[in-house]
Amino acid sequence: MRYCIPPRPHRLLKEEDGSSTVEIALWLPIFFLIIATSVDFSLIFSKNAQMWDVARDSARRMATYSMDGEEAKTYAHSRVRNTADSVEVQTLDEGEEVIVTISVPIEDTAFFSFIATKAWGDIEARVSMLKEPI
């Protein structure tokens, strides 16, 4: 009967076969998390910029009397809804001032839902403008 003699320990310490595989296995999840976080924050900031644009445009249309509150609400909702499902739009016409508020849950804007959770709340854009004199 022949027994297989294990290699000597000093030979095992010198060999580096498979070390790059172990390094990739260790670093790949961290790299993926960094990329996923970057993508999520980019989408969140992009959505926030779009919301500010739509809120400012809706408030301007209300301030120049080209839309009333309901028309501005419908207009803003249709422009923001293209990229988020649950959009909340509020328009207020208070005397000489108009206020348009758009809010979207943050988890609707992120691609990877494990980054942006409900605990983060909503993204909100609120614009206030004075009405143009008649």
Is the pLDDT assigned to residue 31 strictly greater than 60?
A: yes
The pLDDT score that the predictor gives to residue 78 is: 87
The rounded mean pLDDT for the chain is 83
d(CA 54, CA 60): 10
| DSSP label of 72 | H
End-to-end C-alpha distance for the chain, whole angstroms: 107
19 part of a folded domain: no
What span, in angstroms and rounded, lies between the C-alpha atoms of 60 and 42?
A: 27
Residue-wise pLDDT for 87-114, tens only, equals: 888 998 888 999 999 998 888 887 876 6
pLDDT at position 25, please? 86
pLDDT for position 4: 66
Number of domains in the chain: 1
In a domain, 18, yes or no: no
More confident residue, 63 or 23: 63
Residue 7 lies in a domain: no
Task: Enumerate helices (H) and strands (E) in the chain, giving the number of each.
Answer: 3, 3
In a domain, 17, yes or no: no
What's the pLDDT band for 52 if we cut at 50, 70, 90? very high
> By residue range, what is the domain housing residue 107?
25-130
CATH number, position 95: 3.30.1300
pTM: 0.74
Tell me what pLDDT residue 114 has: 66
Q: How many Cβ atoms from other residues are within 10 Å of residue 59's Cβ?
A: 25
- Does 101 map to a domain? yes
What does the pLDDT read at residue 3? 66
